[in-house]
Chain A
Amino acid sequence: MENESVNEVAGLFKELNTAALIEIAAILLAAWFVVWLSQRLLPWLANHLHGKQRLYTLALVPMVRILVLVLALVLIIPRIIEPTLQNMVATLGAAGLAIGFALKDYVSSLIAGVVAVHEMPYRPGDWVSVDGVYGEVKHIGMRTVELVTNDDTVIWVPHLKLWDNLIHNANNGGPSLMCVAEFFIQPEFDAFMIRDALEDIALTSPYLQLSKPIVVTVNEEPWGTRYRLKAYPIDPRQQFLFVTDLTARGKKRLLELEVKFSRVETAREC
């Protein structure tokens, strides 16, 4: 009885001779080489481009990798297993059991990585916020996504986060990323005069994407009036310098207009 079971399991697999092993090794090597090459060439090319072209080129990296891996699996499996329905069900069932117990989180991340390539909640070049971390997507790996923050810190976020976390994508695959510079002004000053001055601040910034609108919104707070100057930089990578430019020049202009800034009193615990 035991011998029969062993024979049945053994019957799933083909006899692996030297030629088959060499073929599998060659396929794996070729797949690894193509993935390695695409992960170097495409980002290099993207760094020589700007705007949309850069983002689209970066988005090709995970696509190419997934295609190459699927192709490699399609070529390897028939060389190991006799591809009948019965064999496939038996093999996948056994693999599922092993994965369910031992490698649940790892495989969940791998599957989320495949879903991420399909649904594209983030692509290389996007600016995303996951779990309170904000940064540029530099690389989408099989298990993790690599973010680089404005402080040049690299953070690896497992794709697993995709299942139950909110993902905030600031530019969603495009070159348009809205930036907001905030100004806190005492409430007695003319809001329209300040709005006009702030609009000119945005219009005269060298970072401004002129094809996009400039908007100033105003709302009252207990400590004064909050002005939010919203505009788009030419390239999402310029967002921090753009906000710096808007804030520094906005402050200078408002001081010239003799506007007084609000001082927010922090609440004291009794």
Chain B
Amino acid sequence: MSESPEPQQLQQQDSVWQWVASSDYRCPTTPTVITIKRWWHSLRAQSGKDNETEQPEQSVDVLKFSINEGLQQLDHMLQEWRDDDEDQSVRWLISPPHSPVNEIAKTWANANNIVDLQTPKRDELCLDTLNVELPQGNHAAPWFVPELAHCYLRQSKGLRWVRAFFAQALSGDIGKGLVVCDSWAWSFLRKLWPVSQPKTLTLQAFDAEALQTLGLNRDVEHLKHLASLSRGNLGIACAFSGSRYRRQLQQQQSPFELPSMPAETTDSTAFILHMLLLHRGLASYQLHQVLPIVSPTHLDIELQSLNYCGLIRKTESQWYVTPTGYPVVRQALSARGLWLDHF
């Protein structure tokens, strides 16, 4: 397969499911005209000239989608690489939080009988007995890593396996493979081991037109705001597709109802959220492993507070940033100067 994805992109123009090099990701923004228009309405409303008392619109239908088209496009994108026995390179799929990239990649790997590479469990990553050697690859059979973010811990002994993995995977020692990695983890791991951008693919952002094509019936202004809020992330757009929408900005800065950060947001709060995103979810005791500077009691208090605000949720003992909390969390981390993903 050629390293540049341009030829495939041209063939995908009719589909809203476009796989592009991660550097070609274009985040949708709210057009300035719409923003000014909204502020004008707000000013009129505040000065009493606009007597319409606005009730937030409650959307009844939420966006539901099928990954089939995304799967077909991915298959088309990886077809040449999959079939070329000479090509022993690794392909990387970058997945922003809650986006459907993981699900598509898993389905594609299953459909092509690609087996998962044996990766250590999180609790084994910091053990002295950890074996970082990977089995030498059968060059005819590709392998699959469903989530690289679960294969490291940002802890003094937690980077050994992922570093060895990069060394062996990129040297071709273990054959060809497909790796899915969370966008936040990828942003951090690139500091550990830079990988060339053309080999990293992601789903192009879903802008207002794409959301409409997927069947979300809203006016253009609403769709553009939704695309901008979700930064083109389909999972986040789905989470907000059924939420209330205000046409006039009053006290709130967003037309959507967003959860708030806790009143007492400290460095510890930001670090906890950052670590949850970097690792795509962590258990409480793992959070303590990666943040020993925060005392266990304080950590629990912060987790409860964030949970109460609706920014994080616990699923099977792991804490995750919620889809509706994600835009708020990302904004808060950006304001504090923390290392962000590129999506």
A50 on interface, CB distance cutoff 8 Å:
yes
- Nearest Cβ distance between residue A74 and chain B, in whole angstroms? 37
Give the chain B neighbours of A248 by CB distance below 8 A.
292-293
- Whole-angstrom CA separation of A206 from B293 in the bound complex: 9
Give the chain B neighbours of A241 by CB distance below 8 A.
267, 293
How many chain B residues touch the partner (CB < 8 A)? 23
Give the chain B neighbours of A204 by CB distance below 8 A.
154-156, 158-159, 290
B108 on interface, CB distance cutoff 8 Å:
no
Given contacts A234-B337, A234-B338, A235-B337, contact A203 B191 (CB under 8 A): yes
State which of B159, B292, B293, B336 has its C-beta within 8 Å of the C-beta of A200: B159
A210:B191 contact, CB within 8 angstroms = yes
- Nearest Cβ distance between residue B189 and chain A, in whole angstroms? 11
B337:A175 contact, CB within 8 angstroms = yes
Interface residues of A in 10-57 (CB under 8 A from B): 49-51
B337:A253 contact, CB within 8 angstroms = no
Give the chain B neighbours of A51 by CB distance below 8 A.
337
B40 on interface, CB distance cutoff 8 Å:
no
Interface residues of A in 31-88 (CB under 8 A from B): 49-51
- Whole-angstrom CA separation of A153 from B269 in the bound complex: 27
A253:B157 contact, CB within 8 angstroms = yes
A150 on interface, CB distance cutoff 8 Å:
no
Give the chain A neighbours of B155 by CB distance below 8 A.
204
State which of B128, B192, B274, B336 has its C-beta within 8 Å of the C-beta of A50: B336
- Whole-angstrom CA separation of A50 from B334 in the bound complex: 9
Given contacts A203-B191, A234-B336, contact A253 B156 (CB under 8 A): yes
- Nearest Cβ distance between residue B290 and chain A, in whole angstroms? 7
- Whole-angstrom CA separation of A207 from B339 in the bound complex: 10
Interface residues of B in 59-103 (CB under 8 A from A): none
A146 on interface, CB distance cutoff 8 Å:
no
B134 on interface, CB distance cutoff 8 Å:
no
Q: Give B265-279 as 1s and 0s: 1 = Cβ < 8 Å from A's Cβ atoms.
A: 001000100110000
Interface residues of B in 180-209 (CB under 8 A from A): 188, 191-192
- Whole-angstrom CA separation of A252 from B292 in the bound complex: 11
B111 on interface, CB distance cutoff 8 Å:
no
- Whole-angstrom CA separation of A11 from B154 in the bound complex: 78
B43 on interface, CB distance cutoff 8 Å:
no
How many chain A residues touch the partner (CB < 8 A)? 25
Give the chain A neighbours of B271 by CB distance below 8 A.
206
- Whole-angstrom CA separation of A197 from B160 in the bound complex: 11
- Nearest Cβ distance between residue B296 and chain A, in whole angstroms? 15
Q: Give B317-338 as 1s and 0s: 1 = Cβ < 8 Å from A's Cβ atoms.
A: 0000000000000000001111
- Whole-angstrom CA separation of A234 from B335 in the bound complex: 11
A226 on interface, CB distance cutoff 8 Å:
no
B214 on interface, CB distance cutoff 8 Å:
no
Given contacts A238-B267, A244-B293, A245-B293, contact A210 B188 (CB under 8 A): yes
Give the chain B neighbours of A245 by CB distance below 8 A.
292-293
B156:A201 contact, CB within 8 angstroms = yes
B283 on interface, CB distance cutoff 8 Å:
no
A138 on interface, CB distance cutoff 8 Å:
no
Q: Give B147-159 as 1s and 0s: 1 = Cβ < 8 Å from A's Cβ atoms.
A: 0000000111111
A249 on interface, CB distance cutoff 8 Å:
yes
B292:A50 contact, CB within 8 angstroms = no
Of chain B, the residue at the smallest CB distance from A54 is B337
Given contacts A200-B159, A204-B156, contact A249 B292 (CB under 8 A): yes
Interface residues of A in 225-250 (CB under 8 A from B): 234-235, 238, 241, 244-245, 248-249
Give the chain B neighbours of A244 by CB distance below 8 A.
293
Interface residues of A in 159-197 (CB under 8 A from B): 175, 197
- Whole-angstrom CA separation of A249 from B191 in the bound complex: 20
B336:A206 contact, CB within 8 angstroms = no
- Nearest Cβ distance between residue B82 and chain A, in whole angstroms? 34
- Whole-angstrom CA separation of A209 from B159 in the bound complex: 18
Of chain A, the residue at the smallest CB distance from B272 is A206
- Whole-angstrom CA separation of A179 from B84 in the bound complex: 50
- Whole-angstrom CA separation of A149 from B155 in the bound complex: 31
- Whole-angstrom CA separation of A50 from B291 in the bound complex: 22
- Whole-angstrom CA separation of A31 from B168 in the bound complex: 68
Give the chain B neighbours of A210 by CB distance below 8 A.
188, 191, 339
- Whole-angstrom CA separation of A252 from B191 in the bound complex: 24
Give the chain A neighbours of B267 by CB distance below 8 A.
206-207, 238, 241
- Nearest Cβ distance between residue B331 and chain A, in whole angstroms? 12
Give the chain A neighbours of B292 by CB distance below 8 A.
245, 248-249
A203:B159 contact, CB within 8 angstroms = yes
Considering residues A200, A207, A241, A245, which has the most beta carbons from chain B within 10 angstroms of its beta carbon?
A: A200
Q: Give me the interface of B with A, judged by CB distance under 8 Å.
A: 128, 154-159, 188, 191-192, 267, 271, 274-275, 290-293, 335-339
Known contacts A203-B159, A206-B290, A210-B191; 13 additional CB pairs below 8 A are A49-B335, A50-B335, A200-B157, A203-B192, A204-B290, A206-B267, A207-B267, A211-B339, A235-B337, A245-B292, A248-B293, A249-B292, A256-B128
